[in-house]
Amino acid sequence: MARPKVSKLKKGSLDIAAVRNIINKKAGREVAHSLQDNNPTEVSEWISTGSRWLDSIICKGKLAGIPVGKISEIAGLEATGKSFMAAQVAGNAQKMGIDVVYFDSESALDPSFLERAGCDLERLMYVQAESVEFVLETIEELLGTGNKWLFIWDSLALTPSMSDVEGDFNPQSSMAVKPRILSKGMSKLTVPIANSKATFLVLNQLKTNITRSPSEAMTTPYVTPGGKAMHYAYSLRIWLTGRKAKASFVQDDNGFRIGSEVKAKLEKSRFGTAGRHCNFKILWGDDSIGVQDEESWFDAIQVSDRLLQSGAWFTLVQNDGTEVKFQRKNWVDKLSDEKFKQSVLTIMDEDVIMKFKNREGKADDFYDTDDPVAKPDS
C-alpha cells in the first residue's frame, strides 16, 4: 500500500500560527489551539451539586460543581443519595439552559421524585438503558445535534452489555466484556464531549474490594465497576458513604426517617483537590428532596477564627465586625437574616476555598484524615 504524500516544509520557514492553520486544514476542523487565546481543556462552566460546601471543595480557588465538558462520576454505597444528588444536578443544569438526558438501567425513577428535586419534566428526556453499547451510541449521536447536553447514566453497574442481554446467566461467558466496551467508548467520546461542551455524569456503585492482600483491603476498601479505562476518563470522582448509626438519620417531628447524613469524598479531582471531603444531609422522604444545604454550612466553617464557642453558645463575627450569638439548634433560623447569611458565605469562601488554595492552616483541616490514601495534592 502506497504511503500518503506529506508536504515538505522548509525548516524554520513557518511560525506557530501558520503550522496551526495547516493542522486545522488537514483535520477539517479546529484541533490545534493556542492555549493563550483558546484553551479547549479549561472548564468555564460548572453545574452546582446542590451542596455549597461540596461545590467549594471541587476546584482549587473557586466555587465549582460538576464540570461542563468533562466526564464525572458519583459513586456510593447503597442508599447514600446518588440518584437524589443527580436529580438536583439535572434541575440545576436546566436552569442554565442545558438539556438533560437521563439513562436509567435500574427502573426505579419516579417522575414526582424528579419534580421535587427541581426538574422540568418537559425538558428532560428519559431513556431506558438497555445496554452499554446503546447508551454510548446514543450519546455519540446526540453530540452531533448542536444542543448543550447533560447525560446522566444511572447506573453503569447495572447496565448490561449486549452479550449479557443475548447470552445466558453464566458470568464466565461475558467476563471483561463491559470494561472493553467502555474503554473503546471513552476513547471515542472524551474529546467530542469536551468540544461540544456536553457533560457526562456517571452514577456507579461502591463495591467491597475482595482481595487476598490485607494491606490493599485497608487502603482500598471499595472499588467501582467499569474497569480502569473509566478511572482515567473521569475528571472528577465523588464517592458518597453514609453512616448506619441512628444519629445519622434525618427525622421528622414524629421520629420518621426522611433523610440521611452523607459523607462526600473527592476520590479523584483534576482540579487540585483530591482527598478533600465534606458532610451534609440528603432528604428523600419529605415534600422537598435533595441536599439539606444550609445546615451543613455550620460544619463547613468550624475551622474559621470568626466562629467562637463558649459552652452551648456560638459567636459569629459578621463582615462589618459586629458579633451575633446563637445556639446550634437556631443555626438555620439565623440564616434567614441576609446580613448573617452573607457573612457565613464570605467565611466559607475565605476558609474553605482560599485558605486551601493558599495552603494556610493545617492540612488535616481539609483532607479526610480517616482515609489512609487521602494525600495533599502537590
Q: Which residue has the higher pLDDT, 78 or 51?
A: 51
**Cβ within 8 Å of residue 151, ≥6 positions away:** 101, 103, 139, 142, 198, 199, 200, 201
pLDDT at 238: 97
Range 210-249 burial, b when 16+ CB lie within 10 A, else e: eeeeeeeeeeeeeebbbbebbeebbbbbbbbbbeeeeeeb
The tens digit of pLDDT for each residue in 328-351 reads 999 999 999 999 999 999 999 999
Q: Strand, coil or helix: what is 264? A: strand
pLDDT at 106: 85
Beta-carbon count within 10 A of 102 CB = 22
Residue 13 has pLDDT above 70, yes or no: no
If pLDDT is split at 50, 70 and 90, which confidence band does 377 have?
very low
- For the CA atoms of the chain, what is the radius of gyration? 23
| Whole-angstrom distance, CA of residue 268 vs CA of residue 260 | 24
If pLDDT is split at 50, 70 and 90, which confidence band does 192 have?
very high
Residue 178 has pLDDT above 80, yes or no: yes
If pLDDT is split at 50, 70 and 90, which confidence band does 372 have?
very low
State the cell numbers at 358.
493558599
Torsions phi, psi for 310 (to 5 deg): -140, 100
pLDDT at 10: 59
pLDDT at 76: 92
Residue 47 has pLDDT above 70, yes or no: yes
Question: Please, what's the largest Cα pairwise distance for the chain?
Answer: 83
pLDDT-wise least confident of 19-33, 216-230, 270-284, 331-345: 216-230
Peptide bond into 304 cis (omega under 30): no
| Whole-angstrom distance, CA of residue 115 vs CA of residue 289 | 9
pLDDT at 172: 61
Q: What is the mean pLDDT of residues 268-283?
A: 94
Q: Taking a C-beta distance cutoff of 8 angstroms, is the pair 309, 275 a contact?
A: no
Q: Strand, coil or helix: what is 105? A: coil
Q: Strand, coil or helix: what is 325? A: strand
Mean pLDDT, the chain, whole residue set: 88
State the cell numbers at 48.
452546582
Q: Which residue is associated with the grid cell 476555598?
A: 353
| Whole-angstrom distance, CA of residue 63 vs CA of residue 77 | 26
Query: Which H or E run includes 17?
Result: helix 16-27
Q: Taking a C-beta distance cutoff of 8 angstroms, is the pair 274, 377 a contact?
A: yes
If pLDDT is split at 50, 70 and 90, which confidence band does 374 have?
very low
Q: What is the mean pLDDT of residues 195-209?
A: 92
Residue 8 has pLDDT above 60, yes or no: no
Q: What is the mean pLDDT of residues 58-74?
A: 97
pLDDT at 375: 42
Residue 268 has pLDDT above 80, yes or no: yes
Residue 126 has pLDDT above 90, yes or no: yes
Q: Taking a C-beta distance cutoff of 8 angstroms, is the pair 85, 291 a contact?
A: yes
Q: Which residue is associated with the grid cell 451510541?
A: 137
The class of domain 38-293 in CATH terms is: alpha beta
Residue 165 has pLDDT above 70, yes or no: yes
The tens digit of pLDDT for each residue in 303-322 reads 899 999 999 999 999 999 99
pLDDT at 246: 54
Q: What is the mean pLDDT of residues 28-37?
A: 82
The tens digit of pLDDT for each residue in 82-117 reads 998 999 999 999 999 999 999 999 888 889 889 988
